[in-house]
Chains A and B, each alone.
Chain A
Amino acid sequence: MTTDPRIVPAATAPELLRNFCIIAHIDHGKSTLADRMLGITGVLEERLQKAQYLDRMDIERERGITIKSQAVRMPWHVEGSPFALNMIDTPGHVDFTYEVSRSLAACEGAVLLVDAAQGIEAQTLANLYLAMENDLTIIPVLNKIDLPSAEPDRYAAELAQLIGCDVDDVLRVSGKTGEGVPELLDRVVRDIPHPVGDANAPTRAMIFDSVYDSYRGVVTYVRVVDGDLKPREKIAMMSTLATHDLLEIGVISPEPTPTKGLGVGEVGYLITGVKDVRLSKVGDTVTRAKGRAETSLGGYRDPKPMVYSGLFPLDGSDFPVLRDALDKLQLNDAALVYEPESSVALGFGFRCGYLGLLHLEIVRDRLEREFNLDLISTAPNVVYTVRMEDGKEITVTNPSEFPGGKIAEVREPVVKATILVPSEFIGSVMELCQERRGQMGTMNYISETRVEMHYTLPLAEIVFDFFDQLKSRTKGYASLDYEPDGEAASDLVKVDILLQGEQVDAFSAIVHKDAAYAYGVSMVGKLKDLIDRQQYEVPIQAAIGARIIARETIRAIRKDVLAKCYGGDISRKRKLLEKQKAGKKRMKNIGSVEVPPEAFIAALSTSDDSAAKGKKK
């Protein structure tokens, strides 16, 4: 495919560029639509189309979500003139709000993509607000109009009301069949403004993504705002003033293709040979080492972990493997933080900080999959601030750090949550939020049948199973978005779990005083079901300080022998024994009690069914 000379990278007039992203909820068909665009513009030959080409990582493919954004350059002709469209893919989950905001900052317009059978979801709404705050031009689009269950008229009205446009302005497409996609590309060219910048000013380019590649090192995605970037120049990062050699510069179309540079408004990638994404941070401004820009583009901030959890190798000798694996993952994930931690129960591991629960699950999945590790992750918790009576303040990222002495006040992070739900479920949502110590804010009808509810909730109440509960109580119709909203004082206590009188640090939790008893009863009950009978009686207790609030006892096992053992039984019995011994190896010994790893996993969940699943007796 030869490129029209008017839209060759580094030599394209900003007037011929369009930078846009697609805002969509998980499984509203963003990846399918993006692939369809690649096909229609000729960037990707149909036969080469892997399903959802843009979602690269296996985990993303399995979970149907996009973690890391990418940017693809596509040619498109309107009325005989060529244009270069840069489609910037955005992550779609609350954990990655900051990354979304940077992707949006690289665009002039956004395609608001909504499933014609489902309507808009809270996450999409949140990103739409962000896009509108960034003054992006919005093109409303209903997808999946080929579905029998599609209700395009109903949702077109909803979208029109939401963004204040005419119902007829809402495009109707099918990423699956391609219907309406060429018209959408035409609209991108017509409606979205071209980028504006000063080609003669000192170079400023914004990093909107940074990905570690094991062959190339860190690949940095940038949007040039002013000036230009050329290969073999020295560049500088404005947050750190660190300088790097620009080994390669190019565009993605759809594979990385080196170019002679990037000019004003263009989007592409840089390779400098650095091996650590933390040296090429999302939000930072790239400039030339010689003739540096005076001011950065702004909007940069360090990612801040919201949730902490311990990660321990099941086999203690895997600790060095885990350390190396985390080091490697961090090359690709600037938001992941960790430090060594040792637990009486679980041995040596790491206390890890994550952007949210999804981020936690992704990291654990990747560690297990890519590094072949068996891991135990402890119950996640948020960051508490404890003020002692003597005025000292302690930051608690781990229940074991919760101080004993005289506590004046404990503060916990809270979030502002937005929940979108069909109006018949208002009661269920209010009930759930009340159970989770939520405080109701405003409530708006966004259409006749859908409501937007605002709540202030403790983050700790959301990180467990809030979203699952929300889904199950609203038959899957509710959607949720939230953003941090500072801290609030609360009546919080630490509940410890004791096995045979010995405190198991991995099971300690910081919970609201009113929930402490229920938590204690539920945990000791779960552990009673999950731990096999031992050769002696094992008491399990829950305690606040020295006060026992719940107790169960695992009775001693009295019989563990197969009565018959003759000639024909020996091979079978030996194999059974070997299997039992292998099972025993998986056990974590706490004192002299053998605890199966499932017990630690069950502690992650607050729902009762997970305990039932693990039930063995």
Chain B
Amino acid sequence: MGDAPSAPFTPPREGVGRDFGVYIHVPFCAVRCGYCDFNTYAPGESEFSSRDDYVGAALAEMAHARHAMAGDERPARTVFVGGGTPTMLDAQALAALLDGVRQTWGLSADAEVTTEANPDSVTRESLAALASAGFTRVSFGMQSAVPHVLATLDRTHRPENVERAVTWAKEAGLATSLDLIYGTPGESIADWHASLDAAIALEPDHVSAYALVIEPGTRMGTQLRRGEIHAVDLDTQADMYEAADARLAQAGYGWYEVSNWSRTPADACRHNIAYWTSQDWWGIGPGAHSYLGPRIGPAGAEAPAERWWNVKLPRVYAQRLHAGQSPEAEREPLSPADLALESVMLRVRLAQGMPIGDLPEPRAQAVAALVADGLLDGRAAIAGTLLLTLRGRLLADAAVRALT
């Protein structure tokens, strides 16, 4: 499908009952971290030079999207700028991207607008500028508060920069989130407790904690293969997850998704909840994924749900758009069975749970077995909801396999 312009969308005739959000991928970083397999480029990697073309190309994709979604009047309810490191762009550039969203789709009055940020690449001024441009939320990649862990992760920021950045963000009126990583080679349980305590002490509105996955093809993957580093075993990872949940709960944070905790339900990340509840979104930028659910066109024809993703290289992405072509790399039509499977896979991860009746096929026996094994909450099941227990959150993939 590569070079051909994508077929124009069949615009929905009326509201489809789903929210619409926009993701913007900024594929640049100051350094590439050893564990990172994201679509991002650092100085010295040839693609980094296309940083200068990036904003123009992203705005061009929005124009293309407007054309493709003609007739769909839904404004964006959430915007999420991720990366890479979005703050490799200055505040004006980020503001220009947000303006692009406003002009293309409009922004609902209560929109949640998040950007990820590196604690090193923000200032009091830049955060204030982002807030006045319409950003409401900032998510800092803290990862750890322990220097040797940060060093293993190739993170360049100093732990004290995080504190400064969070303070400035709060001053600017932005909601704050901290990302943490656990299970880094060499990280002890005590190290992890120290990071949790440091994050909690900063009183963010929201915390995400991810187990480190060492992917083959990354620098860390190579080190692992050569035996230079040793992966933290699954049992220790489980201990760390349980420590995070206990420590965060004690500090007043509740889990709302397997890897996410917030101070109040209102502090949960609405953009991510939209992913987990299969809302529609358009992903702008190199390698970004988009999803539009099943819809009905003006002629009354049904269009199936589809997911598609852009070419990965920023240079090719920009060239396509400059030539008036779609940056789409590949498109995947999703059958009702695919959607049903995805729905279970995503919704089961949420603290709000999922109605048992929404399972693609009745699985009374599987549900009973999961309750018996302590993966699903029994009271919730009797009340008709699939809700993971703490043990179940750690075995969520096994639970999903049993339920589908």
Contact = CB atoms under 8 A, between A and B. Distances in A.
15 contacts: A536-B373, A555-B235, A559-B237, A560-B394, A560-B398, A561-B396, A563-B259, A564-B259, A565-B275, A565-B346, A570-B291, A570-B345, A577-B401, A578-B341, A580-B401
B401 A558 contact: no
Contacts of B332: 571
Given A561-B258, A562-B213, A567-B283, A577 B400 contact: yes
B138 interface: no
Contacts of B211: 559, 563
A564 B210 contact: yes
A568 B213 contact: no
B281 A567 contact: yes
A379 B73 CA distance: 67
Contacts of A578: 341
B238 interface: yes
Contacts of A439: none
A535 interface: yes
Interface string A582-608: 001000000000000000000000000
Q: Is the interface of A mostly helix, strand, loop or mixed?
A: loop
Contacts of B395: 535, 557-561
B23 A559 contact: no
A566 B272 contact: yes
B287 interface: yes
Contacts of A559: 211, 234-235, 237-238, 241, 394-395
A573 interface: yes
Interface residues on A, range: 20 to 34
B289 interface: yes
A535 B371 CA distance: 12
Given A558-B235, A567-B289, A570-B345, 4 more contacts: A558-B238, A559-B211, A570-B342, A571-B332
A50 interface: no
B393 interface: yes
A562 B309 CA distance: 21
A580 to B, nearest CB: 6
A475 interface: no
Interface in B305-346: 307, 309, 332, 338, 341-342, 345-346
Interface in A537-569: 555, 557-568
A66 B373 CA distance: 55
B375 interface: yes
B215 to A, nearest CB: 11
B346 A581 contact: no
A582 B373 CA distance: 22
A568 B287 contact: yes
Interface in B232-252: 234-235, 237-238, 241
A574 B394 contact: no
A7 B235 CA distance: 82
B288 A561 contact: no
Interface string A46-90: 000000000000000000000000000000000000000000000
Given A577-B404, A581-B404, A535 B375 contact: yes
B342 A574 contact: yes
Given A571-B332, A580-B397, A563 B238 contact: no
A577 B349 contact: no
A535 B398 contact: yes
A408 B51 CA distance: 87
Interface of B: 23, 209-211, 213, 234-235, 237-238, 241, 258-259, 272, 275-276, 281, 283, 287-289, 291, 307, 309, 332, 338, 341-342, 345-346, 349, 373, 375, 391, 393-398, 400-401, 404
A571 B397 contact: no
A409 B291 CA distance: 73
A584 B404 CA distance: 12
A563 B215 CA distance: 13
A566 B290 CA distance: 11
Contacts of B23: 567
Contacts of B283: 567-568
Contacts of A584: 401
A566 B349 CA distance: 12
A557 B238 CA distance: 10
A570 B259 contact: no
A341 to B, nearest CB: 29
A485 B396 CA distance: 60
B233 to A, nearest CB: 9
A578 B340 CA distance: 12
A563 B210 contact: yes
Given A559-B238, A580-B401, A570 B373 contact: no
Contacts of A536: 373
Given A577-B404, A580-B401, A570 B272 contact: no
A356 B276 CA distance: 58
B48 to A, nearest CB: 21
A73 B291 CA distance: 72
Contacts of A555: 235
Q: Name which of B375, B401, B404 has the most chain A CB atoms within 10 A of its CB.
A: B401
A572 to B, nearest CB: 10
A568 B281 CA distance: 11
A577 B287 CA distance: 22
Nearest to A558: B238
Nearest 3 CB-CB pairings of A with B: A558-B238, A561-B396, A563-B210
A469 B178 CA distance: 61
Interface in A72-124: none
Contacts of B396: 560-561
Interface string A513-541: 00000000000000000000001100000
B291 A567 contact: yes
Contact of A560 (B213, B345, B349, B397): B397
A484 B248 CA distance: 73
A573 B394 CA distance: 16
Q: Give the interface centre of A561, A565, A568, A573 by most chain B CB atoms within 10 Å.
A: A561
B272 A574 contact: no
B404 A568 contact: no
B213 A563 contact: yes
A578 B309 CA distance: 20
A156 to B, nearest CB: 55
Contacts of A581: 401, 404
Contacts of A580: 397, 401
A558 B349 CA distance: 16
A564 B281 CA distance: 18
Contacts of B213: 562-564
A571 B341 CA distance: 11
Contacts of A570: 275, 289, 291, 307, 342, 345-346
Contact of A558 (B209, B342, B394, B404): B394
B362 to A, nearest CB: 17
A561 B209 CA distance: 13
Contacts of B397: 560-562, 577, 580
Nearest to B374: A535
A559 B349 CA distance: 14
Contact of B394 (A561, A567, A568): A561
Nearest to A574: B342
Given A561-B394, A574-B345, A581-B401, A568 B234 contact: no
Contacts of B237: 559
Interface in A156-193: none
Contacts of B401: 577, 580-581, 584
A580 B401 CA distance: 8
Contacts of A563: 209-211, 213, 258-259
Contacts of A561: 258, 393-397
B179 to A, nearest CB: 10
Nearest to B391: A558
A567 to B, nearest CB: 5
A484 B281 CA distance: 75
A574 B275 contact: no
A571 B346 contact: no
A578 B258 CA distance: 21
A565 B349 contact: yes
